[in-house]
Amino acid sequence: MQLIINVNLRRLALALVILMPCAAELKEATLQILRNGENAGSYILQAGDPSLAEWKLPPLNIADQTSADHTQSDALIKLGRALFFDPKLSSDNSRSCASCHRPKLGWSDGRPTAVGLNGQPLDRATPSLYNSAYGTIFTWDGRASSLEEQALGPVYDPSEMGSSADELLTKLRSDEYYRKAFAEVFTEQLITDQFITDQFITEDSISRALASFERTLLVQNTRFDQWVAGDHNALTLSEIRGFGVFLDSERGSCATCHAPPNFTDDGFHNIGLASFSDPDPDLGRYNIRPVKLMRGAFKTPSLRNITLTAPYFHDGSAETLEDVVEHYQQGGVSKGNLSPEMKDIDLNTQDVDDLIAFLRAISITRDDESINMASEQ
């Protein structure tokens, strides 16, 4: 059986050809996507097919990711980890970055929206930090363009950690561990004037350390990644079909925004969450970039390890992956400023099951060793 469906993957005009397995012994469906135009070629949904290469996360040379004048040494990462887990970064020493970005909850917190210093709920959900090393823009509204730039935001935010530059520097500079650790990491790097003082502990060096640690929070080897790399047994037939749904603009149309290789376009879209109809809705990206299209638009999250970070969306309005898919099935709820890339999708029960199975396959399991390692302090 052969089935031809028109798909629109990002700006490419594509046709999806599904060759259903005709013999019972075939373990994999052969799904073929033909591309027209400039990027002529095809996707063949079979383990290891070269056409899937764009879904492979490129190896990350972490040393290249940091500022031009610093490399990412183990000592810098270790220092960043110590800071990340240290409640001293908050005004009343009650909470660290890890109070909200919890290792075992996919570096998120399992809550609809984050909880502030006094226990009050904040406006937005805590995003996962997985694969932020691949990111180019940060926070739901994209107000930070690097992890370094983002790092002290929560420390100074009165409702998150409530500290100040003075307080932070005073505390860390009077701590023997940090005095020693910062001096060790930064002594060899007396390149900029800023560091030619006896004070190695600066806002800049603290941000660099935190960002360097965050860049080590990677998920690169899910069953999906193993399948892309060529392991035929890594995905089930249902999961492979689910990937087809994810790509197909007549069905999921998910890859338009959750683009290869990190399942995000690092773009901002209004996907029609019900909360956009609130009397005073969170305008998201519009606060930073006031153009109409950006009203109620939020950053597309990456999806690897998505099973660890429920509930979903910036307002925590979807409890489960089933709820997420239901939201897209409806084409969004609040359609006032819906992204033009939100398609009317029509999934049958099988498509929904397959799509959810696929979403689970781009996550490692909770007891995976790397999560436990990351949570050690």
Question: Residue numbers of the site for ligand HEC (CB under 6 A)?
Answer: 89, 95, 97, 99-101, 114, 116, 122, 124, 126-127, 129, 132, 135, 138-141, 147, 150-151, 154-155, 160-161, 210, 214, 252-254, 256-258, 269, 271, 273, 298, 300-301, 303, 306, 309, 312-314, 324-325, 328, 339, 341-342, 355
Return the number of the residue (44 or 306) whose C-beta is nearest ligand HEC. 306
Which residue(s) pair with 15 in the sheet? 6, 34
How far is the C-alpha of 145 from the C-alpha of 142, rounded, in Å? 7
Reduced to 3 states (helix: H, G, I; strand: E, B; else coil), residue 270 is coil
Return the number of the residue (79 or 210) whose C-beta is nearest ligand HEC. 210
Name the minimum Å distance from CB 185 to ligand HEC: 17
Return the number of the residue (195 or 328) whose C-beta is nearest ligand HEC. 328
Return the number of the residue (100 or 361) whose C-beta is nearest ligand HEC. 100
Name the minimum Å distance from CB 26 to ligand HEC: 26
How far is the C-alpha of 120 from the C-alpha of 179, rounded, in Å? 34
Return the number of the residue (32 or 162) whose C-beta is nearest ligand HEC. 162
Q: Which residues contact 242 (CB under 8 A, 6 or more apart)?
A: 353, 354, 355, 356, 357, 358, 359, 361
Task: Look at the alpha carbons of 62, 65, 68, 72 in this order and tell me if their dihedral is positive or negative.
Answer: negative
Name the minimum Å distance from CB 292 to ligand HEC: 16
How far is the C-alpha of 267 from the C-alpha of 56, rounded, in Å? 20
Based on the number of CB atoms within 10 Å of its own CB, is 237 exposed (0-12), middle (13-18) or buried (19 or more)? middle
Name the minimum Å distance from CB 358 to ligand HEC: 8
b/e 34-55 (16+ beta carbons within 10 angstroms → b): bbeeeeeeebbbbbebeebeeb
How far is the C-alpha of 377 from the C-alpha of 310, rounded, in Å? 24
Return the number of the residue (19 or 323) whose C-beta is nearest ligand HEC. 323
Name the minimum Å distance from CB 128 to ligand HEC: 6
Q: What is the DSSP string of 118-163?
A: TS-B-SSPPPP-TTGGG-SSBSTT--BSSHHHHHTHHHH-TTTT--
Reduced to 3 states (helix: H, G, I; strand: E, B; else coil), residue 370 is helix
Return the number of the residue (185 or 209) whose C-beta is nearest ligand HEC. 209
Name the minimum Å distance from CB 25 to ligand HEC: 31
Q: Which residues contact 27 (CB under 8 A, 6 or more apart)?
A: 21, 232, 233, 237
* Token pair for 320: 């489960």
Helix axes 203-214, 176-187, angle to 10 degrees: 80
* Token pair for 39: 């990027």
Name the minimum Å distance from CB 227 to ligand HEC: 18
Name the minimum Å distance from CB 24 to ligand HEC: 30
Return the number of the residue (14 or 303) whose C-beta is nearest ligand HEC. 303
Token look-up 């490129």 returns 58
Name the minimum Å distance from CB 245 to ligand HEC: 8
Return the number of the residue (19 or 238) whose C-beta is nearest ligand HEC. 238
